[in-house]
Amino acid sequence: MGENKRRMLAGEWYLPDDPDLQRDTERRVRLCAAYNAAAAAAPGERYKLLAELLGSVDESVRVRAPFHCDFGYNISIGAGTFVNFGAVFLDTGRITVGADVQIGPNVQLLTPSHELDAARRRAGWERASPVTIGDNVWLGGGVIVCPGVTIGANTVVGAGSVVTRDLPGGVLAVGNPARVVRELS
């Protein structure tokens, strides 16, 4: 394993032009293309592709194409979860999605951050912070979840919201940035 890949997986600053990461990217391109092209294939065939792409996925999970990710192997999706069209999971860091989660169309789960210093950003430095989605969460269409965010179980995030910090369990949150508007019973 190259030093940059080790650093990426550890959540440290790294340069993404590592040969190991390039091979991983080629793997992801091949598997995402095959998965997205197999929209009409039998569910068992689609699951085999998804299981090869992702780090962990239950057979009951449904992901509608197109689906896009950085590597795939940093993504874990729990049983009974549904991911709608156009999902983007940038998994340079760990993405954990719980069981029975509903993810609307065009949702983005983003783990990478780029350097604020202009010279280091130009050089390509980045790092990742994990994203965790609890059980029975509903992310409305177009929700963006930023690096390092955890959303607690049974929370609903309204369409178009941008989640920049952790949300507790059992709440409704909306807006940009997402704010808790009420508790859910």
Tens of pLDDT along 131-156?
999 999 999 999 999 999 999 999 99
**pLDDT score recorded for residue 121:** 95
Question: What pLDDT is stored for residue 31 in this prediction?
Answer: 96
- Which residue, chain included where needed, has tokens 């896009």? 68
Q: What is the pLDDT of residue 18?
A: 87
pLDDT of res. 32: 96
pLDDT score recorded for residue 26: 96
The active-site residue, picked from 6, 23, 30, 114, is 114
The DSSP letter of residue 156 is: E
Q: Tens-of-pLDDT digits for all 185 residues of the chain?
A: 788 899 999 999 999 988 999 999 999 999 999 999 997 788 789 999 999 999 999 999 999 999 999 999 999 999 999 999 999 999 999 999 999 999 999 999 999 999 999 999 999 999 999 999 999 999 999 999 999 999 999 999 999 999 999 999 999 999 999 999 999 98
**How far, in whole angstroms, is CA 80 from its chain's centroid?**
17
Structural domain boundaries, residue 173: 3-183
> Total structural domains in the chain?
1
The CATH number linked to 118 is 2.160.10.10
In degrees and rounded to multiples of 5, residue 26 shows phi and psi of -60, -40
Helix (H, G, I), strand (E, B) or coil at 182: strand
What integer pLDDT is reported at residue 30 of this predicted model? 96
- b or e along 18-28 (b: 16 or more beta carbons within 10 Å of the residue's beta carbon)? beebeebeeeb
Give the separation between CA 50 and CA 57, rounded to whole angstroms: 8
Q: Does residue 68 have an active-site annotation? A: no
pLDDT at 2: 85
